[in-house]
Amino acid sequence: MFDSLATTLRNFFSRALQIAYPDVKIPPLEVTRSTQESFGNYQFNSAMKLAASLKVAPRKIAEEIVKAAVTLKEPFIERLEVAGPGFINIWLAPEYLAAMVQAALQDLRLGIRAVKKEKVVIDFSSPNTAKEMHVGHLRSTIIGDSLARVFEFLGHDVLRLNHIGDFGTSFGMLIAYMKENTQYAFNQVDEISLSDLVTFYRQSKVAFDADPEFKKRAQLQVVALQSGDPETVKIWKIICEISRRAYQEIYDLLDIKIVERGESFYNFLLPFIVDEFERKGLITPSEGAKCIFIENAAFVNREGEKLPLMIQKSDGGYNYDTTDLAAMYHRIGEEKAERIIIVTDAGQATHFQMVYEAAVMAGYLDKSKVRFDHVPFGVVLGADGKKFRTRSGDTEKLIDLLTTAVSRAEDILKERNPDWSGSERKKVAQALGIGAVKYADLSSNRTSDYTFSYERMLRFEGNTVAFVMYAYVRSLSIKRKISADIEDLIKNEKIILKEPAEIALALHLDRFSEMIEQIVEELLPNRLTDYLYELAEKFNLFFRDCRVEGDPAQNSRILLTEACGRVFEKGFSLLGVQCVKRM
């Protein structure tokens, strides 16, 4: 195992800087990828920042650092060059790049350094009981799963939590309605589908708004549910079970593992949380409700009025806010989380910032010990640029959306490979169709809105799953043709890089760990898709420029191909995309 390239270089420049300016207090140094290939592989950017404290011109500083760096005689540096106002351009030695690839081939973690194991709670997917899961939940599911996979790959202890909206006053309405208007025997889950529930829910809402008598009965059901009345709880459980089955169908299709821990799980903590905030003097009463106000210019509504977290309503009921504070308390206190990550649409950003600040105020969350991130994402848009909907105007049912992607993938495969058997086509279509939905979502920077298009996500060119997968399949076919004993080659043969395409490919392979480090920091899965897209392009150039079979460099090139295959496989698995062997 070894440090990422950027880390190695930062350490290197820190040593050089120490030699050039022994008295300087070394700031965090910045080493980044070069913006252009002609500027080398990496660049050192910190001379400009150092200029102020050293009172020396940045170019001069860069020159002094280069002079000192040369005396270190590090074999991984091929050449250093001062450029522009004081950048240092860095060319790495091909022998070093080759050795890194070789080391990665000998390691199941592809050379990625072991990290200090942390408890990481990731709250994602989190649909709402008695409602259909929508495309927003799909985004949360896909992004959250991929982040969880990255943390798991690094060896962290990840708890994947499904914070289902399975409690609250709206269930009183639904239960009252079902008791009065449906003839179902409530112990038969199989007789009711989620669509039925959605219909009942809609009708119960109409009745609730129109009929004050029904409203009263619904409120009584809330009380009954909260106090654990067996008949009411039984119906509630059935409602949850029906919803759960519908979600599970989607999770199975997407290959998602997640632990259900819905809002109801935290019920036992809610009175305690309110008491605690009261005891600590953090509550401001407002029209009978108990509110928390946080001094922060960002926490205001459009009219500029301060926004509260309302943790108990005037009727004594608890809220989404209360549950999220209880969840913070539980995840830190009981689960011992060191990182908490919650993945939802950007619309909830303020809510989570407020919950975070409130948890700090209450002493639940110590900023120096626990890192909290709300991971927001944009809206899913249809081809018309409006919020994604089906033709009927209803929001698209997720299951239909996924099966459509698979059947479209199947049509494309039928055209490309008419000779395939039906069962093989189905298998590959499943992987590509679902893979396309995931890849398209993950590859757009999550913070922006994302336009859903079957046609685009299933293309074979550009930054798509099919393009990248095709490069992977090619790497398999090269190996198949030569049928070498790979393990034997790894042990006994050396990678030697000569051609520019080989060097560029090896450099990119060596950047894998750096990209993973970035994801853990920024929580942007599109770093990984960008990486894989570039890997596919670099692999294709290598394949075009460098003969493998029968060339004197055959063994070295098979090893390079093998390394690509492994990185593709690992990359796809971190995206939650299934690999195929043929396309």
Q: In the bound complex, what is the minimum distance in angstroms from residue 420's beta carbon to ligand ARG?
A: 40
Query: What letter represents residue 399's amino acid?
Result: I
Q: In the bound complex, what is the minimum distance in angstroms from residue 295's beta carbon to ligand ARG?
A: 23
Q: Is 163 in the site for ligand ARG (CB under 6 A)?
A: yes
Single residue of 89, 128, 312, 464 touching ligand ARG by CB under 6 A: 128
Residue 356 has phi, psi (to 5 degrees) of: -60, -50
Single residue of 51, 327, 437, 575 touching ligand ARG by CB under 6 A: 327
Q: In the bound complex, what is the minimum distance in angstroms from residue 340's beta carbon to ligand ARG?
A: 9
For residues 439-468, which are near ligand ARG according to CB under 6 A?
A: none
Q: In the bound complex, what is the minimum distance in angstroms from residue 398's beta carbon to ligand ARG?
A: 13
Q: What is the CA radius of gyration of the chain?
A: 28
Q: In the bound complex, what is the minimum distance in angstroms from residue 402's beta carbon to ligand ARG?
A: 19
Part of the chain binding ligand ARG (CB under 6 A), chosen from 106-114, 125-133, 193-201, 396-404: 125-133
Dist CA 78 CA 12 (whole Å): 13
H or E segment and range at residue 153: helix 135-153
Distances in whole angstroms, Cα of residue 390 to Cα of each of 130, 198, 355, 379, 384? 20, 17, 35, 15, 12
Comparing CB distances to ligand ARG, the nearer of 126 and 561 is 126
Cβ-in-10-Å burial (0-12, 13-18, 19+) of 345 comes to middle
Single residue of 165, 376, 435, 525 touching ligand ARG by CB under 6 A: 165
Q: How far is CA 425 from the centre of its chain?
A: 29
Give the x/- contact pattern for ligand ARG in 82-101, rule: CB under 6 A.
--------------------
Q: 391-420 burial, b if ≥16 CB within 10 A, otherwise e?
A: eeeebbbbeebbeebbebbbebbeeeeeee
Q: In the bound complex, what is the minimum distance in angstroms from residue 577's beta carbon to ligand ARG?
A: 24
Q: Is 342 in the site for ligand ARG (CB under 6 A)?
A: yes
Residue 544 has phi, psi (to 5 degrees) of: -75, -40
The size of the chain, in residues, is 583
Comparing CB distances to ligand ARG, the nearer of 163 and 408 is 163
Residue from 246, 139, 157, 146 nearest 197 by CA:
246
Q: Is 321 in the site for ligand ARG (CB under 6 A)?
A: no
Part of the chain binding ligand ARG (CB under 6 A), chosen from 126-134, 290-298, 329-337, 547-555: 126-134
Bridge partners, residue 43, by sequence: 32, 89
For residues 345-384, which are near ligand ARG according to CB under 6 A?
A: none
DSSP secondary-structure letter at 395?
Answer: P
Single residue of 41, 102, 221, 344 touching ligand ARG by CB under 6 A: 344
Take residue 159 and report the two structure tokens written for it.
Answer: 């708890």
Q: How far is CA 484 from the centre of its chain?
A: 37
Strands lying side by side in the sheet with 371-377: 259-260, 157-162, 119-123, 339-345, 371-377
Give the residue carrying structure tokens 């910045």: 30
Q: Is 324 in the site for ligand ARG (CB under 6 A)?
A: yes
Single residue of 126, 264, 319, 322 touching ligand ARG by CB under 6 A: 126
Q: Give the number of other Cβ atoms within 10 Å of residue 300's Cβ.
A: 12
Strand 339-345 and strand 371-377: the pairing is parallel
Single residue of 123, 502, 514, 562 touching ligand ARG by CB under 6 A: 123
Comparing CB distances to ligand ARG, the nearer of 123 and 562 is 123
Q: In the bound complex, what is the minimum distance in angstroms from residue 123's beta carbon to ligand ARG?
A: 5
Q: In the bound complex, what is the minimum distance in angstroms from residue 122's beta carbon to ligand ARG?
A: 11
Q: In the bound complex, what is the minimum distance in angstroms from residue 394's beta carbon to ligand ARG?
A: 17
- For ligand ARG (CB under 6 A), the number of binding residues is 10
Q: Is 121 in the site for ligand ARG (CB under 6 A)?
A: no
Site residues (vs ligand ARG, CB under 6 A): 123, 126-128, 163, 165, 324, 327, 342, 344
